[in-house]
Amino acid sequence: MSDVIVWLVRHGETVWNAQRKISGWVDVELSERGQQMARDLRPRLHPEEFDGVWSSDLRRALDTAHLAYGRPTQQDLRLRELDFGPLEGEDWTLIPQHQQREVLAFSEDCTFGGEKISVFEERVFAFLDELPPGRHLLFVHAGVIRLALRRAQADKFVPPTTVAIVNWTRKHLLEMHLGPEVEGHK
């Protein structure tokens, strides 16, 4: 196989997702529901063979990898979520409407003082562009998946435990299996 195929798996629901708080680089753990969501992925992932298995270094991605796949992963800081800066830990429902619109649009300065989308793209795409041809499983975050989907002309915010399969070489979405919606989140 000469193409790079990435299976992008969003982590399970976190305790902050359940509380409608914004998380980025804060190392938030999975909720009990999130742990079960991750275990529910096992039948989808376990029979598959991958040339590489990677994860963000944040606990929610690592725990999802352990519960959903059960095999060692290589950690890479470049797979971390967007650094939301001053928005981290804020209740989504309490931030001003104009800030909510910017975050949902994933605009360049949507973090209002955190990481810019162009910087986020640079680090995530540097990782993806370095992958050798083959099939790679990545346990990541909503923002990482959104960047890849945007590049594949399929921009979408995805719920926890979504699996998006992208031909990274051709920048084409092959398939997507949406995870269950988290109450109160789009």
Residues designated as active site: 11, 81
Helices (H), the chain: 15-18, 32-45, 59-68, 97-105, 117-130, 142-151
Burial class (CB within 10 angstroms; exposed 0-12, middle 13-18, buried 19+) of 172: middle
Phi-psi region of 158 (alpha: psi -120 to 50; beta: other; left: phi over 0): beta
Distance of alpha carbon 119 from alpha carbon 123, whole angstroms: 6
